[in-house]
Structure 1
């Protein structure tokens, strides 16, 4: 059976989900064996918000893959997830959402062999209001389509498991031939920071050049 690239599936799924259940922002991501989210595909979400999440609030997110997995649900509403974690963590995460005008979030998770493989995060602002019971039911119906799509998806890169989210992003951009200047622009950091990330990547993978790095991780 032909395996479809994850980014292609991500685009189709984000379009389908946000057309059926409107959301102000959304993200599709893969989940590795350590139940960490990676390889995000963003929909109407600013890079600034996403970087702020990864750098400062990810650890407080009640909808992280490990939490969704332990819930036993395929569609996990924010309110339910927040009730399962310490109140101070939920307050920190609410502060993050409030900063960007988000009032509600729901996670739709697809599994493979009993483990989360990929998920879609849907976010709504005040003008859209919180997700209704009917909309959550619609997402439960759509989850089976996500499940089928993920079943035909090429496995996400296990070779990237030991990398931080920024290192993953850099590695994927290097695979596309990005220069240091392009990396700095994409990550909104200076060239010295990019050079530091590259040195760390070389050390982690035991290589001495960008070409070796791409070959080790992706070939």
Structure 2
């Protein structure tokens, strides 16, 4: 398991709050299987990662209702509103009625394990409550991390664990889908399948140009040639 808080980078509001005090505070967890691709979870504790919002803005697309809300908690579908400060990122689950307390609690869990436990910064800082507190501490983000590795064979033989994982994951893959063209999968399956089917990488055009510029500034060769990049 791995978690990272955003230190002093506060981009989301606590549930029912008016001041940004939390980060996306992502959580990741992976477990091996035997023949099937491993379970690989990588999620933010906000309803969406900020990269998806900015990607939609670059493509000139609107975003789904539920990602951002305005000061009156009404849905915002213009991705530009996020960086303009008029659209506020919701915690995973959205409002209290739809499970937002779960995302809020998970975000705080990440801040505790990554920040309070390690001595790094956490999002909820009393300076944020002071007048003109915008960007307080942004110059020193002091991000914290938490890692947990479990030795499987301290609990049961590895082969048994991996085989049991295969049984569980295969049962999920065999679940009848609601719509035939969209099968049931699990976190990590689609990514593993995509990697095995092609050597090509799909990338946002703006991001690709930014990476080329950065590579030139650092005098390094980009990790992928243009022939292997499907630029959108």
TM-score for the superposition, normalised by structure 2: 0.26
TM-score, L = length of structure 1: 0.27
